[in-house]
Each structure stands twice: as C-alpha cells, then as structure tokens.
Amino acid sequence: MPEPANLIDREIHPVRDRVLLGAVWAAAMLVAGAFVWLLADLLWHGAGRLDWSFLSTAPRNSGRAGGIWPIVVSTVLIVAVAIVVAAPLGLATAVLLSEFTRRGGTTERAIGLSLDVLAGVPSIVFGLFGNAFFSVWLGLGFSILSGGLTLACMVLPILIRTAETGLRMVPDDWRLGAAALGLSRTTALHQILIPVATPVLLAGLMLGIGRAMAETAALVFTSGYVDRMPSSLFDSGRAISVHIYDLTMNVAGGDRSAYASALVLIALLVLVNGAAIWLSDRTLQRKIATR
Amino acid sequence: MMSAVDDKPTPSREGASSAFTLGPLVAGPPCCTPQTHISIKSVTLSYGRIPAIRDVSLDIYKGCITALIGPSGCGKTSLLSCLNRLTDLIPGCHVEGRIAIDGQDITTPDLDVQRLRRRVGMIFQKPSPFPLSIWRNLEMPLREHGVTRRDELEFRIEKALADVGLWAEVKDRLGSAALTLSGGQQQRLCIARALTLEPSTLLMDEPCSALDPLSSAVVEDLIQSLKGQYTVVIVTHNLAQARRIANYAAFFWVKERAGTLVEFDQCRTLFDQPRHELTAAYVKGLQG
Ligand SMILES: Nc1ncnc2c1ncn2[C@@H]1O[C@H](COP(=O)(O)OP(=O)(O)OP(=O)(O)O)[C@@H](O)[C@H]1O
Ligand SMILES: [Mg+2]
C-alpha cells in the first residue's frame, strides 16, 4: 500500500479530530462574525450620515444635526493628557519592577498586587474618584484636564504591566554584557533595553489609548459633557463615547448620529494602531537592527 | 599544596627554560618571570546559603594566560565573575575572602565598580553584541567612559578591530547591524569591544564553545596573540585548547557540594605530571 502523500491528512482521526477541528473553526468564525456584524451594522446605520461636514462642524440640535468636530478635538485632548501623564509614569514604574526589584520580592509583590487590583476596578469608580480628587479637591472642575488625569490613573496598570513584560523579555545576556563593559544601568536601559522593548512598549501604549478612547463612565463626572469647542484644557469637553451614550440614551432621533460617531471612533482607533505599527517598524529599522 | 605555586620553574621536570607552554608554542618572555597580577585569597562564594566555591586561593600572573578547567558546576564561571564583581548583579550572591588586582582590594563595597570593569573585561560563552550597528557597539562603551573626541573614537575603534583581525572584514559595513555578523565574527567583535577600553585583564568564559571549529580556531589564535599584553583568565572545557594556549592551568573539583581548587601549576606540568590523582584522571579523560 503506498504511503499517503499528506502526513497531516493521515494523522487526522476520522471522528475525534474532526469534531475538535470543527469546534475551533466554529469558535473562530463566531468571533470574526460578531465583529463583521457589528461593523456592518454601524456602516448600515451610520454611513449615510457620515460626510465631510459631519467631521468638520459642531453638533446642532443636541447632536441630531450638525457634526462632531469639537467632540473629536475634546477626545483627542483628553486622551493626549492621559497618555502624556501615564506613559512616563508607567515606564518608570515598569523599569523599577523589572530592573531594580527582585522577582517575587516584597516590593515587586506589593506593587504588582496593587496594580492588579487597580486594573480590576470598574471605570465608574475611577470616575467618582476623579470627580472627588481632581474636580473637587484640586479644584479642576469639569475639565479636559481632570478627565485626562482620571483616565491616566485608569490606564496606568495596563501600561505598567505591558512595559514590564516587554522589559523582562529582553535577554539577560545584554544586561550582563553591558554591566561587564562598565556601562551604567541608565545607559544600558536607554541605549539597549528600552529600544529593544519598544515594539512591546508601543503595543501597551496602544492598548492604553484604546481603553482611554473608548471610556465613558470615568469621563461623565470628570470632563463632563459640554459639546462646545474647548478653548483650553480647563474647559469641559465631551468625549466621543460620552457623545454616543448621550445620543442613544437621551436624544430621541439621535441614533443615526450615534452610529456615525461610533464609526469615527473606530476609524480613530485604527489610525492610532497604524501609527503605532509604523513607528515600531521604523524604530526597529533605525535604532536596533536585529538579524 | 593546593594553592601556592612554584615560583621557580623546576628544571628537573622539564629541563627547559620555556617550560610554561606546550608543544610548538614558545612562551613569551613576560611569562617567564611570574609577577602576580590578581591575587585571590581564601575566596568562598555562596548563592544564598549554599557555597558554590569554597576557600580558593590562587595567583594570576601578569601577561599570562591562565586556564580554569574542571567539570561542570565546579564554580569556574562563579570565580570569574568575582574578578569583575559581576556577582553584584546576582541576588543573594555573597563573596568572602580577599581579591586584589595590582595590590588593590576589589572586594570593598565602596569600590568604583564601573572603573573596575573597565580594567577587567569579560567575554561570555554566547557572543552578545548589542542589537546596534557594529560602530555603535564599540562607540557606546567608549563614550560611557568619557572618550568623546571623534578622532580618538575612530582611532581606538579601528585599532581594536584590527587587533582582533576584523577590520578588513567590516570596515565597509560599520553601520550595519552587529547581529548580521557570523558567530565567530560576533565573538571577535565582543573581544574588540572589551579591548577598546584598554583593559589590563580579560576574563573569558568558554569563548569558543558556541563556535564552529574554524571560527573557534580563529578566536583561539586571537587569544594567543593577546598573551603578553593582557592578563587572560580563560575557562574552557576543551582540554586540548587549554594545553595549546595556556601558560598556567588551575584544576577545580567539586568537594562536599562546593568547588575547590585541586591543583594549580604551569599548564604543561599540570597536564603531563599532575601531582594530584584527580587531576591525572581528569586530564586523561577518565573522570568528569
Ligand atoms: N545564579 C545562581 N544562583 C544559584 N546557584 C547558582 C547560580 N549560578 C551558579 N550556581 C550554582 O553554583 C555552582 C557553580 O556554578 P558555575 O556556573 O560557576 O559552574 P561552572 O564551573 O561555570 O559550570 P559550567 O562548566 O557548566 O559552566 C553550580 O552548582 C550552580 O548550580
Ligand atoms: Mg560556566
């Protein structure tokens, strides 16, 4: 009897393996299908409303008419504040955890535990905290600044954990090699470890931005829902997700605007992702040259 | 007689003045008047509570190649990393005893470790060039140690690359990634990187064992050419290699779960007329 050409085919058990194969494919299709459905639904309801004037004008009649330009600006500002504050803090903490504390030591465990608890806190709680602390206690009121700072607290655990993982993935050979050449920890970090970890750091940043951009509950009590164009960081500003929430819950006839706004939100996320990938490719080529 | 060394070559054994090396190799002049460069006195190293090497005393001579041999786990790497205080990086690692380089105690806590590591370079088993360009690999340590003038950087880098025989191979591609070099070239780059800092001592931990025989031979020749200029301490499992290149050899063995020095002598003597039966058995390949 000649050998079957394809080893994989021969290896597949007629019943058991086929059931498994079917199950994993079905699961994958289900996930992909849910996303496609969602996107199709958004496009179906929202695409008609989406045009240049929607992007470039202010909302009128509670958002039923007009566009979302001030809201896009507010969203970008809030997320920018959050990332500008959280990214350096996150990186610094990650460096402390991965480079200067012993794995499984008391410091590492204590910080790690508080991060994991923080990551599990519902965003509405962050909203209440941000309102009490930034808006009232620090007197920032309902402003883009207090919204951004609240989001910074919220994304910090994600940023720290991913950055820590990224730094830990860098092989110890380079740490030892750097130390053996008499390089300081600072030089090693700045010249070798962080550049090598950049793709993971950027991926973490992306997760953080995604989470921040899609946030609603934490912002209602901090950055507020004024839909005018903000003139400074101390003005209140409405984020896209808050806008969508408001249109669907409080504005009769706002559905089409809500769908279109959701499309804009997804487009923004895709844009940021693309930028991150491009940036990470570029740093890979320019700074570190692996293989 | 575990740690002390016969300072005068014993004529009865070899009858020749070039008794420090083997075979066709002629010992360089610096090795004929042994002058202590690194003095290791009663060093005990433990990881946590468990000692990895116990009570090792040994003199390393200036300008000579000293080979550390012995079975796996007898603490050769651990001993090497005491000499440039790389042990500081290992949590729970703890060194007792006295180590002096050029008479200066290097075990004191307030020592400038960065300066020490500049004087005592280290080469690892796995070539570990940084994921940067060839040029940056060499430039970065120099800048860290205060060399910033362009002409001096260029001079030192070219000299180091020429010393390891890499200049001709890479001079047209200094900007390309160091990790695109072959394994042997990478190891020579690492040696060049250590040499740019003008160290007095080089510690090498099995520098050839990750290389193919041809690259290994090239690196071995390179190590030989360092003799006289640098004090070299090399760990190797390749006994033939130790015989070929070393002036002195130290044989370690695990006793009571910790590595100890069994015998230290001129390389040729240690291989041909070992005083200890463990050494005799090991170099004959009967044990370990
Ligand atoms: N970081 C560490 N933590 C705990 N124990 C260690 C550590 N490094 C080495 N050891 C232990 O110390 C002993 C000596 O190890 P070392 O690496 O110095 O041996 P070696 O002679 O270099 O061996 P090899 O020839 O395999 O490289 C071994 O028993 C090892 O298990
Ligand atoms: Mg070793």
Mean pLDDT of A34-59: 87
Across the interface, whether the CB atoms of B128 and A173 are under 8 A apart is answered yes
Phi, psi of B16 (to 5 degrees): -125, 155
Nearest one of B64, A253, B269 to B279, comparing CA atoms: B269
What whole-number distance in Å separates Cα of residue B136 and Cα of residue B177? 9
pLDDT for position B279 = 87
The CB of B77 under 6 Å from ligand 1? The reply is yes
Is residue B245 within 8 Å of residue B69, measured between CB atoms? no
Judge whether residue A3 has pLDDT over 70: no
- Does A289 reach chain B within 8 Å, measured CB to CB? yes
- Taking the C-alpha atoms of residue B84 and residue B99, their distance in angstroms, rounded to an integer, is 10
Mean pLDDT of chain A: 87
| Pocket lining: B121 vs ligand 1, CB cutoff 6 Å | no
Question: Among all chains, which residue has been given the structure tokens 């079957």?
Answer: A4
What pLDDT does B4 receive? Answer: 42
B87 alpha carbon, closest ligand: 1
Residue A8 has a pLDDT of: 60
Say if A175 is an interface residue toward chain B (CB within 8 Å): yes
DSSP conformation class of A223: T
**Tens of pLDDT along A106-150?**
888 898 899 999 989 999 999 999 999 999 999 888 999 999 999
Residue B31 has pLDDT above 70, yes or no: no
Task: Name which of A174, A175, A182 is nearest B141 (Cβ-Cβ).
Answer: A182
Average pLDDT over residues B87-95: 88
pLDDT for res A153: 93
Residues 6+ positions from A273 with CB-CB distance below 8 Å: A206
Q: Looking at ligand 1, which atom is closest to the CA of residue B90?
A: 1
Looking at A43-47, A228-232, B44-48, B131-135, which range is the least confident one? A228-232
Quick: pLDDT tens for B6-22.
Answer: 443 333 333 333 333 33
The answer to whether B123 and B108 are in contact (CB under 8 A) is no
Q: Which residues of B touch A102 (CB under 8 A)?
A: 91
Residue A125 has a CB neighbour count (10 Å cut-off) of 12
Contact B124 A102 (CB under 8 A): no
At B288 the pLDDT is 43
- Phi/psi for A185 (5° steps) reads -55, -40
Which residue, among B3, B10, B2, B1, has the nearest Cα to B268 in the 3D structure?
B10
Beta carbon of B89 within 6 Å of any ligand 1 atom: no
DSSP-assigned states of every residue in A72-134 = HHHHHHHHHHHHHHHHHHHHHHHHIIIIIS-TTSHHHHHHHHHHHHHHHS-HHHHHHHHIIII
Q: Which residues of chain B approach chain A closer than 8 Å at the C-beta?
A: 84, 86, 89, 91, 113-118, 121-122, 124, 126, 128, 130-133, 140-141, 144-145, 176-180, 190, 193-194, 197
CA distance A41 to chain B (A): 47
How would you classify the pairing of strands B93-101 and B104-105? Answer: antiparallel
Which residues from chain B sit within 8 angstroms of residue A291, using beta carbons?
177, 179-180
Classify the C-alpha dihedral A47-A51-A54-A60 as positive or negative: negative
Does B180 sit within 8 Å of A180, measured CB to CB? Answer: no
Q: Is the CB of B124 under 6 A from ligand 1?
A: no
ipTM over 0.90: no
The confidence band for A25, taking pLDDT boundaries of 50, 70 and 90, is very high
- B91 pLDDT higher than 70: yes
| Ligand 2 center to B77 CA (angstroms) | 4
Please say whether the beta carbons of A213 and A154 come within 8 A: no
pLDDT bracket for residue A288 (50, 70, 90): low
* Whole-Å CA distances, B147 to B152, B178, B197: 7, 21, 9
Mode of pairing for the β-strands spanning B50-61 and B231-235 = unpaired
Q: Are A290 and B131 an interchain contact pair (Cβ–Cβ within 8 Å)?
A: yes
Question: What is the Cα–Cα distance from B166 to B185, expressed in whole angstroms?
Answer: 7
Question: In this structure, are residues A239 and A78 in contact, taking their beta carbons and an 8 Å threshold?
Answer: yes
Q: Is A182 on the interface with B (CB under 8 A)?
A: yes
At B17 the pLDDT is 36
Q: Which CATH number fits domain A52-289: 2.40.10.10, 2.30.30.30, 1.10.3720.10, 1.10.8.50?
A: 1.10.3720.10
Distance from CA of B273 to the nearest CA of A (A): 36
Q: Is the pLDDT of residue A287 over 70?
A: no
DSSP chain B: --S---SS--HHHH-STTTTS-TTPPPPGGGGS--EEEEEEEEEEEETTEEEEEEEEEEEETT-EEEEE-STTSSHHHHHHHHTTGGGGSTTEEEEEEEEETTEE--STTS-HHHHHHHEEEE-SS----SSBHHHHHHHHHHHTT---HHHHHHHHHHHHHHTT-HHHHTT-TTSBGGGS-HHHHHHHHHHHHHHT--SEEEEESTTTTS-HHHHHHHHHHHHHHBTTBEEEEE-S-HHHHHHH-SEEEEEEEETTEEEEEEEEEHHHHHHS-SSHHHHHHHTTS--
CB count in 10 Å sphere of residue B36: 15
Q: What is the mean pLDDT of the segment spanning A251-259?
A: 85
Residue-averaged pLDDT of chain B: 84
Which residues in A lie closer than 8 A to residue B116 (C-beta atoms)? 182
Predicted pLDDT of residue A79: 94
A181 to chain B, any CB pair closer than 8 A? The answer is yes
Q: What is the pLDDT of residue B164?
A: 86
Please write the tens of the pLDDT for every residue from A83-113. 999 999 999 999 999 988 887 788 888 988 9
Q: What is the pLDDT of residue B33?
A: 67
Distance from CA of A283 to the nearest CA of B (A): 12
Determine the Cα–Cα distance for residues B172 and A221; give it in Å rounded to an integer: 62
Q: Show the tokens assigned to A75.
A: 């969203």
pLDDT score of B287: 46
What integer pLDDT is reported at residue A5 of this predicted model?
55
- What does the pLDDT look like over B145-186, one tens digit per residue? 988 899 999 999 999 998 888 898 888 888 888 888 888 899
Q: Is the CB of B75 under 6 A from ligand 1?
A: yes
Would you say residue A284 has pLDDT above 70? no
Bigger pLDDT: A126 vs A54: A126
CA distance B244 to B227: 13
Alpha-carbon distance of B232 to B63, in angstroms, equals: 7
Q: What is the pLDDT of residue A7?
A: 57
Q: Between the CA of residue B137 and those of A190, A191, B140, B172, what are the distances in Å? A: 14, 10, 6, 16
Q: Write the pLDDT tens digit of every residue in B49-67.
A: 899 999 999 999 988 999 9
Task: Name the token pair of A178.
Answer: 């750097």
Q: What's residue B23's pLDDT?
A: 30
> Would you say residue A81 has pLDDT above 90?
yes
Q: What are phi and psi of B120, to 5 degrees?
A: -120, 100
Of chain B, the percentage scoring pLDDT greater than 90 comes to 42
Q: 3-class DSSP state for residue A60?
A: strand
pLDDT the model gives residue A2: 52
Strand partners, B175: none
d(CA B248, CA B65): 6
Tell me the H-state helices in chain A. Answer: 7-11, 16-46, 52-56, 69-95, 106-120, 123-130, 144-169, 172-180, 185-187, 194-213, 217-220, 240-250, 255-286
HEC string of B222-264? HHHHHECCEEEEEECCCHHHHHHHCCEEEEEEEECCEEEEEEE
At A179 the pLDDT is 93
Q: Measured between alpha carbons, how far is B106 from B111 in angstroms, rounded to an integer?
A: 7
Give dist(CA A178, CA B48) in Å, integer: 25
pLDDT above 90 coverage of chain A, percent: 44
